[in-house]
Amino acid sequence: MGDKALVLGGGGSGGIGWLAGMLYGLLESGVDLSDADVVIGTSAGSSVGAQLASGRLTLLELYQRQLGPQSGELSGRLGVGAYARYAWATLTSRTPEDYGRKIGRMALAARTPDEASRRYAIESRLASPEWPARSLRMPAVDTATGELRVFDKDSAVPLVDAMAASCAVPGAWPPVTIDGRRWMDGGTHSPANAHLAAGYARVVVLAPVAAGGGPLASAAEQGRRLTEHGAKVTVITPDRTAKQSFGRNPLDLSVRAAAARAGRKQAAIHAAEAAEVWQG
């Protein structure tokens, strides 16, 4: 199984930028997280995780990708009605699956770009279309049942489809059809899905979205549970400057560069705690 797990949470375009900046900033401070035995990426984290795990990009190159034009990409936006549905589902759901079923209905009914356009945009992010040799796990949620499924290289699903499913923000992007079912953003189960790192001894969680809500566990809560089971864990979330860099619409591509710079700058503050977990 290995020893080290890197968990990359969701957070839209801003989250992608912040994660890339954080990874490069930590490297500059002497902490290289690219040697993780498993990379668990949810939504934005699946995008960064796939590029990292491919082995075809250095962390500097991954960071620099966030600073230039996002060729082939699409900006998204959630309307007021979508936010209201999220709030209603949070208040009225007792389990992540119950929440997922309610949000799944919204996802299926929403007006969004078509699946093919979104798939092309996701494919443009990949350094390689093939699943990497390293363990890479991407959670997504079934729109009908609300249940979580984790895609990996043994799932017999193309990498781009697994990543598109994990990144399919309900209300902004279309659910992704895999094996005759419709799948949506893994963040619909929890913002980081750090519980999937159970069994690993050293876990670093980079979570662009710090909070949970209702039945959805926060990254910090999941980190505490891993610690209770004997793992060494640190959970890092955006500081005030980084949160401001995300803007009012974290799905807007234009925020990615500022978020990347903010993540890089913030990384120095967390280097010691990350090193203690990762390097012992």
Looking at the annotation, which residues are catalytic? 43, 185
Element (H, E) at 204: strand 202-206
**Single-letter amino acid, residue 231:** A
Using CA atoms, how far apart are residues 65 and 147, in angstroms rounded to an integer? 33
| Token pair recorded at residue 114 | 């078509």
Q: Which residues contact 215 (CB under 8 A, 6 or more apart)?
A: 90, 93, 94, 95, 96, 98, 99
CA angle 204, 273, 60 (to 5 degrees): 65
| Token pair recorded at residue 147 | 């249940």
**Single-letter amino acid, residue 42:** T
Element (H, E) at 8: strand 4-8
Using CA atoms, how far apart are residues 76 and 163, in angstroms rounded to an integer? 17
Using CA atoms, how far apart are residues 14 and 209, in angstroms rounded to an integer? 10
DSSP percent split of the chain into helix, strand, coil, nearest 5: 45, 15, 40
Cβ-contact 208, 238 below 8 angstroms = yes
DSSP per-residue string spanning 135-167: EEEEEEEETTT--EEEE-TTS-S-HHHHHHHHT
